[in-house]
Amino acid sequence: MATDVQVPTLGESITEATLGEWLKQPGETVGRDEPIASLETDKVAVEVPSPVAGVLQEHVVAVGDTIEVGAVIARIGDSKGAAPAKAEAAKDASGKSAPATAEATPPAADPDSQPLTLSPAVRRLVLEHGVDPSKIHGTGKDGRLTKDDVLAAAKAEKAEAREPSMERVEPAVAAPVASGERREERVRMTRLRQTIAKRLKDAQNTAALLTTFNDVDMTAVMDARKQYKELFEKKHGIRLGFMGFFVQAACLALRDVPSVNARIDGDEIVYHDYVDVSVAVSAPNGLVVPVIRNADQMTFAEIENTIADFGKRAKDGTLSMDEMRGGTFTISNGGVFGSLLSTPIINPPQSAVLGMHRIEQRPVVMPDGSIAARPMMYLALSYDHRLVDGREAVTALVRMKEALEDPMRLLIDL
């Protein structure tokens, strides 16, 4: 008797998803709780585990189909009946069963001929580095490939490619390309990318967006990191990054200017006595925004550990939807990609977002009139002008600038 595999509950307000890829094909054996498919929701990719051990009998839906929570996507059969003794094939032309031969006992499986089951994270790395997964020895459970296995294989291939060959190699002749040939490729948008596009456009259509700018001298923050980074890492097991300073500075500013941490709900304004900071993180399928809950109550080490964990799991595709729900203020760091200046778009229903940018040496006129090269960063605060006045936005950004240029303010709460 076959067992139906249904779309699991995906979280509050998530009622449907798109089938991203099949991790198991019909005829393959599956273990209980082993992932057989990957679903794309509005926020994250979710793996669907098999409810029983057995053999995958059929796919009920196709890749790209939109399916609702509770819908049947596949059927799992009993492994005992999955591999009949090929009675039909064993019969001779007269219709009589042929005598049992050595083939009646299935030969030992060749590991290299078995279909590989790759997790979404491993599959992305395989595609990214262009390695052959069948030639990689898996060190994971049951011989499955891990990310480290793929990365090691890719590194080995690059090292081998750099070694000079002792044989004379004839230069390859490039295939002729038709003059003026122009190509196009159509790729279906992922559900996550569709959601990002819709939400950003809705934000532009709904909110009265405005951005205010300032720059910050990062000398004090950089000096603090240089002085304490080794002690910090030794004690807490995590590097002291820039984001901890920015989250702390933002919490200080939002407490002084609560409207920047508020939201509009109908004809009412909702103020929060806590700060849940959404941190924009780059993931393989697009931008995701997990939330640091009660950031205003956290230490530098707790903030840095939380952000590092978010970044790792965003790449692995293992962030949960609960971790990306809510948030009262967003920080986006475009500086890691080299951005000098930008106007970030708010993350509805939030009313403001802080954009960080790259640090670069620029000439600055010092208080004594001298000119010195200083590590400067542009900050951008985009906000919903329906709720936040210009004076409040500028005040909040100046508070952040002051705290970053004099981190002692974070310690003594100024």
- The yes-or-no verdict on residue 180 having pLDDT over 50 is yes
In whole angstroms, give the CA distance from residue 257 to residue 251. 10
187 occurs within a structural domain: no
Could you tell me if 266 and 285 are in contact, meaning their C-beta atoms sit under 8 angstroms apart?
no
Query: 123 and 259: one domain?
Result: no
Residue type, 127: L
The CATH number linked to 24 is 2.40.50.100
In whole angstroms, give the CA distance from residue 216 to residue 247. 15
Question: Could you tell me the two tokens for 257?
Answer: 């200017």
- The yes-or-no verdict on residue 327 having pLDDT over 70 is yes
CA distances, 142 to each of 35, 112, 255 (Å): 14, 14, 52
**Set 4, 256, 322, 389: catalytic member:** 389
Asked, as a colleague might, if the bond just before 349 is cis with ω within 30 of 0, I would say: yes
Could you tell me if 90 and 98 are in contact, meaning their C-beta atoms sit under 8 angstroms apart?
yes
Per-residue pLDDT, 269: 94
90 occurs within a structural domain: no
Residues 108-127 have a mean pLDDT of: 58
Query: 132 and 68: one domain?
Result: no
Domain final residue, candidates 26, 60, 80:
80
Query: 13 and 144: one domain?
Result: no
- The yes-or-no verdict on residue 292 having pLDDT over 90 is yes
132 occurs within a structural domain: yes
Q: Give the confidence band of 194 by pLDDT, cuts at 50, 70, 90.
A: confident
Per-residue pLDDT, 94: 43
Question: Could you tell me the two tokens for 175?
Answer: 């295939």
How many other CB atoms are there within 10 angstroms of residue 270's CB atom? Answer: 13
Query: 215 and 140: one domain?
Result: no
* Active-site residue flag, 385: yes
Per-residue pLDDT, 109: 41
The angle subtended at Cα 405 by Cα 404 and Cα 408, nearest 5°, is 75
In whole angstroms, give the CA distance from residue 217 to residue 3. 62
Question: Could you tell me the two tokens for 93?
Answer: 């032309």
Query: 233 and 326: one domain?
Result: yes
Query: 246 and 309: one domain?
Result: yes
Domain final residue, candidates 80, 107, 131:
80
CA distances, 205 to each of 133, 281, 286 (Å): 46, 24, 22
- The yes-or-no verdict on residue 168 having pLDDT over 70 is no
Residues 390-402 have a mean pLDDT of: 96
For 39-92, the DSSP string reads EE-SS-EEEEEPSSSEEEEEESS-TT-EEETT-EEEEEE-GGGTS---HHHHB-
From 132, 116, 133, 141, select the one nearest 25 (Cα to Cα).
Answer: 116
Report the percentage of the chain scoring pLDDT > 90: 37
Overall domain count for the chain: 3
Question: Could you tell me the two tokens for 15?
Answer: 């009622």
Per-residue pLDDT, 93: 41
384 occurs within a structural domain: yes
Q: Give the confidence band of 88 by pLDDT, cuts at 50, 70, 90.
A: very low
In whole angstroms, give the CA distance from residue 243 to residue 185. 38
> pTM score, two decimals?
0.63
* Active-site residue flag, 137: no
380 occurs within a structural domain: yes
Residues 368-380 have a mean pLDDT of: 95
The CATH number linked to 250 is 3.30.559.10
In whole angstroms, give the CA distance from residue 169 to residue 31. 48
For 135-190, the DSSP string reads GS---SGGG---HHHHHHHHHHHHHHHHSPPSS--PPPPPPP--TT-------PPP
Query: 249 and 120: one domain?
Result: no
203 occurs within a structural domain: no
* Residues 131-158 pLDDT 10s: 777 788 888 766 777 777 888 888 887 7
In whole angstroms, give the CA distance from residue 376 to residue 198. 34
Report the percentage of the chain scoring pLDDT > 70: 80
Query: 56 and 135: one domain?
Result: no
- Which of left, alpha, beta for 327 (phi over 0: left; psi -120 to 50: alpha)? left
Query: 219 and 348: one domain?
Result: yes
94 occurs within a structural domain: no
Per-residue pLDDT, 231: 93
The angle subtended at Cα 203 by Cα 340 and Cα 298, nearest 5°, is 65
385 occurs within a structural domain: yes
Q: What is the DSSP letter of 367?
A: T
Per-residue pLDDT, 199: 82
Which residues, 6 or more positions from 385, have their beta carbon under 8 angstroms from its beta carbon? 207, 208, 209, 210
Q: Which domain holds residue 273?
A: 209-412
Q: Between these two residues, 401 and 124, which has the higher pLDDT value?
A: 401
Query: 128 and 247: one domain?
Result: no
Per-residue pLDDT, 4: 87
For 257-309, the DSSP string reads SGGGG-EEETTEEE--SS--EEE-EEETTEEE--EETTGGG--HHHHHHHHHH
Per-residue pLDDT, 37: 87
Question: Could you tell me the two tokens for 408?
Answer: 């002692």
Element holding 210 (H helix, E strand): strand 209-217
**Set 129, 236, 272, 385: catalytic member:** 385
Q: Nearest 10 degrees: CA dihedral of 125, 129, 135, 138?
A: -30
* Exposure b/e, 79-88, CB count within 10 A at least 16 = b: eeeeeeeeee
- The yes-or-no verdict on residue 163 having pLDDT over 90 is no
- The yes-or-no verdict on residue 374 having pLDDT over 50 is yes
From 221, 38, 13, select the one nearest 118 (Cα to Cα).
Answer: 38
- The yes-or-no verdict on residue 365 having pLDDT over 60 is yes
Per-residue pLDDT, 177: 53
The angle subtended at Cα 132 by Cα 127 and Cα 138, nearest 5°, is 100
The CATH number linked to 131 is 4.10.320.10
- The yes-or-no verdict on residue 82 having pLDDT over 70 is no
In whole angstroms, give the CA distance from residue 350 to residue 335. 22
* Residues 20-76 pLDDT 10s: 788 888 888 888 888 888 887 766 677 888 888 888 888 988 887 888 888 888 988
- The yes-or-no verdict on residue 8 having pLDDT over 90 is no
From 213, 212, 217, 214, select the one nearest 367 (Cα to Cα).
Answer: 217
Query: 388 and 255: one domain?
Result: yes
Residues 155-175 have a mean pLDDT of: 58
Query: 65 and 121: one domain?
Result: no
Residue with tokens 């790395």: 125
Q: Give the confidence band of 110 by pLDDT, cuts at 50, 70, 90.
A: very low
